[in-house]
Amino acid sequence: MQRFSALSLLGRALTGHRSWAPQWRRASPQPAYDALIIGGGGHGLGAAFYLASEHRLSRVAVLEKGWIGGGNTGRNTTIIRSNYLFDESAALYDHALKLWEHLSQVLNYNVMLSQRGVMMLAHNLHDVQVIKRHVHANRANGVDNEWLSAEQAQQFCPPLNIADIRYPVLGAALQRRGGTARHDAVAWGYARAADALGVDIIENCEVTGIRRDAHGAVEAVETTRGVIRTPKIGVAAAGHTSVVMKMAGVRLPLESYPLQALVSEPVKPVFPCVVMSNTMHAYISQSDKGELVIGAGTDAYTSYTQRGGLHISAHALEAVCELFPIFRRLRMLRNWGGIVDLTPDRSPIIARTPVPGLYVNCGWGTGGFKATPGSAHVFAWTIARDEPHPINAPFTIERFRDGYLIDEAAAAAVAH
């Protein structure tokens, strides 16, 4: 490990860190690749990493219209959990959680996974029934989750107000393996590791068109930095998936909504876990910097605006003040938004498309950060082998035609 004195660190900061080696090359587009990934978020960068590391595809590039991690990967509230209801989802999200547990070692990059526990509150009889059903289903699938009484919930999270409140807390589900990770580090860690395997990471390169050959298969992309030939394209463009897929003539059942979050001024460590209340429409955790990270639901209307309505965050803050009266005098520092892509059943699509050579990873809506390593892993498999991994086989586009929906609206939680 390289060591720096305080003086040399100060010197480097004042000179713009020019002597520090970049973590990945500033690659320029080559005329052709074996596979292209559109979208430099965690899912796209991760897919490129697994294509190179597990499928030995060395001529791979990630095309990102802005900077890597500048989309939802760098805008989310970093909650990780795998407590989804259906068997298909449990397999997918727990595959991801198991990969999270070793990701820092695999990438040799600290993604700051903190398994501090995610608690979901029940405030009425319906909540109790739904949440207990999730607990039982998770345990049947080998996914940890447990039911706590209101008093046990308060013991686990002392600032929680359980009684003197409009919607008293009747109990909670606790997934102890759930928690948070540092979102930017996930993008940077995958980027550095993929780059080391020869993947070109090309920022400021917007895809503006997808060319198809006489048989309809993909043959090239048009970008703001020229035309690039390829027989395989993986789209991981989150809120802009519909826009990119339209370039290939594919229409998906997706709607794009703004989702926002906000942080408070930093305070000492007072909040030990992640708490979510679907009924009161708020969730909260404390970052390592000390800020309280607070989130709410999506706006009620579709839009590509990267910010949410003020009334949504005001509503979330009212809920936080009732649930955690100790935070009533905290000041909020900043808020921001991202564009999330929702499917009708609130489960993702990770699949081949009707266009040969075109693959899509989308529909993560408000909850794809937690899935990043698992999603990227099975997406790379699908692209490399032109067939789904058993874990993503149910997450097709055709399920919306055939009726095999995986309805996770309840597990998708507060933000939906």
CB-nearer residue toward ligand PYC: 308 or 367: 367
* Tokens (6 digits) for 281: 């429409």
| 255 to 274: interface string for ligand FAD, x by CB under 6 A | ----xxx-------------
Torsion of CA 234, 298, 168, 135, to 10 degrees: -20
Residue 13: C-alpha distances to residues 26, 185, 355 (Å)? 21, 20, 49
Nearest to 121, CA basis, from 142, 85, 152: 152
Q: Which does 254 bind (CB under 5 to 8 A by kind): ligand PYC, ligand FAD, none?
A: none
Best CA proximity match to 256, nearest among 244, 239, 243: 239
Cβ within 8 Å of residue 63, ≥6 positions away: 29, 36, 37, 38, 39, 40, 202, 205, 206, 207, 221, 223, 228
Residues in the chain: 416
Tell me if 189 contacts ligand FAD by CB under 6 A.
no
Beta strands in 244-382 (DSSP E): 255-264, 274-277, 282-286, 292-298, 332-342, 349-352, 358-362
Q: How far is the CB of 40 from ligand PYC (least distance, A)?
A: 21
Side-chain half-sphere exposure of 414, counting CA atoms within 13 A: 30
CB of 411 to ligand PYC, least distance (A): 8
Q: Which residues, 266 to 305, sit near ligand PYC by CB under 6 A?
A: 283, 295
- Give residues with Cβ within 8 angstroms of 93, minimum separation 6: 81, 82, 83, 84, 370, 371, 374
Residue 42, contacted partner among ligand FAD, ligand PYC, none, CB below 5-8 A by kind: ligand FAD
From 49-57, 73-81, 139-147, 388-396, span contacting ligand PYC (CB under 6 A): 73-81
Q: Name residues contacting ligand FAD, limited to 114-173 (CB under 6 A).
A: none
| Site size for ligand PYC (CB under 6 A) | 11
**Per-residue x/- track, 71-100, ligand FAD (CB under 6 A):** xxx-xxxxx---------------------
Residue 304 and residue 263: Cα distance in Å, rounded?
22
- Is 77 a binder of ligand PYC (CB under 6 A)? yes
User: Does residue 392 interact with ligand FAD by CB under 6 A?
Assistant: no
Contact 74, 99 (CB under 8 A): no
The least distance separating ligand FAD from the CB of residue 264, rounded to whole angstroms, comes to: 15
Among ligand PYC, ligand FAD, none, the one that 413 touches (CB under a kind-dependent 5 to 8 A) is ligand PYC
The reply to whether 342 sits near ligand FAD by the rule CB under 6 A is: no
Minimum CB separation of residue 261 from ligand FAD in Å reads 4
What string marks each residue from 228 to 257 as x (binds ligand FAD by CB under 6 A) or -? --------xxx-x---x-------------
Among 37, 48, 79, 378, binds ligand PYC (CB under 6 A): 79
Least distance (Å) from ligand PYC to the CB of residue 259?
Answer: 7
| Residue 66 interacts with, from ligand PYC, ligand FAD, none (CB under 5-8 Å by kind) | ligand FAD
Instruction: Single out the residue of 284, 289, 257, 253 nearest to residue 271, CA to CA.
Output: 284
Residue 137 identity: A
Helices (H), 81-221: 87-107, 125-140, 150-156, 183-196
Restricted to residues 269-298, the positions that interact with ligand FAD (CB under 6 A) are: 295
Q: At what angle do helices 372-385 and 87-107 cross, to 10 degrees?
A: 100
Of 119-127, 159-167, 211-219, 368-376, which segment contacts ligand FAD by CB under 6 A?
368-376
Closest separation in Å from C-beta 408 to ligand PYC = 10
- 70 part of the interface to ligand FAD, by CB under 6 A: yes
Nearer to ligand FAD, 109 or 369 (CB): 369
Residues of span 357-416 touching ligand PYC by CB under 6 A: 366-367, 370, 413-415
Contact by Cβ (8 Å): 266, 286: no
Count other Cβ atoms within 10 Å, centred on residue 232: 21
Question: Interface residues with ligand FAD (CB under 6 A)?
Answer: 38-44, 63-66, 70-73, 75-79, 206-207, 236-238, 240, 244, 259-261, 295, 338, 340, 364, 366-370
Question: Interface residues with ligand PYC (CB under 6 A)?
Answer: 77, 79, 81, 283, 295, 366-367, 370, 413-415
